Amino acid sequence: MAYGSNISNAASNSPIGDIFFGGRGNVISSERHTPYRNFRFEVMVDGVVAVGGFSKISGLKEESDIIEYREGNWVFGITPDKLPGLIRYDDVVLETGFSSDNTLIHWRQAAAGMGTLSTGVANDGDPVQHRGSLFGIIPFPGIDLLDFRKTVHITIFKKGDPAVPGRTLVLFRAWPRALEISPLDGRGSEIIIESLTLAHTGMAWSDEIDWKDVARSIGRSLAGQVGSAFL
Structural domains in the chain, CATH included, are 2-20+53-113+148-229 (2.30.110)
Rounded to 5 degrees, φ, ψ at 203 are -140, 150
Give me the sign of the Cα torsion angle 125, 129, 130, 131: negative
User: What pLDDT does 68 receive?
Assistant: 95
The three-class DSSP label of residue 107 is: helix
User: What pLDDT does 227 receive?
Assistant: 62
Rounded to 5 degrees, φ, ψ at 182 are -70, 160
User: What pLDDT does 217 receive?
Assistant: 63
Terminal alpha carbon distance of the chain = 7
Bridge partners, 164 (sequence order): 158
Question: Which ranges of the chain would DSSP assign to H, the alpha helix?
Answer: 2-12, 15-21, 103-111, 211-229
**Within 10 Å of residue 142's Cβ, how many Cβ atoms?**
24
Which amino acid belongs to residue 229? A
Contact 53/96 with Cβ under 8 angstroms? yes
| Contacting residues for 113 by C-beta, under 8 A, at least 6 apart | none
Does this model's pTM top 0.75? My answer is no
Measure the CA–CA gap between 212 and 220, rounded to whole angstroms: 12
Q: What does each of the 231 residues of the chain score in pLDDT, given as a tens digit?
A: 444 444 444 444 555 555 555 554 444 544 567 788 888 899 988 777 666 689 999 999 999 999 999 999 988 889 999 999 999 999 999 999 998 888 888 888 888 877 554 444 333 333 333 445 555 555 555 555 567 899 999 999 887 667 788 889 999 999 999 999 999 999 989 999 999 999 999 999 987 655 555 566 676 667 666 666 665
**Within 10 Å of residue 230's Cβ, how many Cβ atoms?**
9
User: What pLDDT does 45 receive?
Assistant: 87
Measure the CA–CA gap between 46 and 35, rounded to whole angstroms: 28
Is the bond preceding residue 35 a cis peptide, omega within 30 degrees? Answer: no
- Per the document, the length of the chain is 231
Instruction: Tell me which DSSP letter residue 163 carries.
Output: -
